[in-house]
Amino acid sequence: MLRRGQAIAAEPNAEIRVGSLQLDVASHEARLHGAVVALTATEFKLLIILAKAPGRVFSRAELMEQLFGWDHEGTERGVDAHIKNLRRKLERDAGHAGAIETVFGVGYRLSRAALEPADG
C-alpha cells in the first residue's frame, strides 16, 4: 500500500517525453514545444501518470487512486475537473487540441499523435 502513494516520487530525476511534451520531475516543470506550461501540483501529477503510458486508457478510479491514494474520499468526477483544466492549459499554451482524449465509458488517455510537432 505504501508504494501506491510513492509511484510518482520513485523517480525524482526522471524526464518524461511524449512528442513535443517534456516533463521534468525534479524541477516540477512541464514544457510543450519548449514553452513552460504553468500547472498545479495535481495537474502535473496527472500529466505524469498519463505521459508514462501514452495511448493507455486510465479509468477515473485508477487516476484517483494514483493521484490521491486509495483512501481518498473525493468523487471520481473530481478527475474530470482536473482533466478539463489540463486540456485548457495545453490547448491555450501550445494549440494541442485533443492531447487528452476521452474514451467514453472507460476513461482518459494521452494522445501521442496530438503532441507531435507540427510540420512547418
So where are the chain's domains? 2-115
Check residue 113 and give its pLDDT: 78
DSSP-based three-state secondary structure for 118: coil
pLDDT for 116 equals 74
Q: For position 55, what pLDDT does the model report?
A: 92
Q: Please state the pTM of the whole predicted model.
A: 0.80
Q: Which CATH number fits domain 2-115: 3.40.50.300, 1.20.1560.10, 1.10.10.10, 3.30.465.10?
A: 1.10.10.10
Pairing of strands 29-32, 107-110: unpaired
Q: What are the C-alpha distances in Å from 111 to residues 10, 40, 101, 103?
A: 24, 21, 7, 11
Using CA atoms, how far residue 57 sits from 11, 24, 111, in Å, is 22, 23, 10
* pLDDT tens sequence for the chain (120 residues): 444 444 444 466 689 999 889 999 999 999 988 889 999 999 999 999 999 999 999 999 899 888 887 665 666 678 899 999 999 988 865 555 688 999 999 999 998 877 776 654
If you write DSSP's letter for every residue of 7-73 in order, what string do you get?
TTTT-TT-EEEETTEEEETTTTEEEETTEEE---HHHHHHHHHHHTSTT--B-HHHHHHHHH-TT--
What pLDDT is recorded for position 118? 61
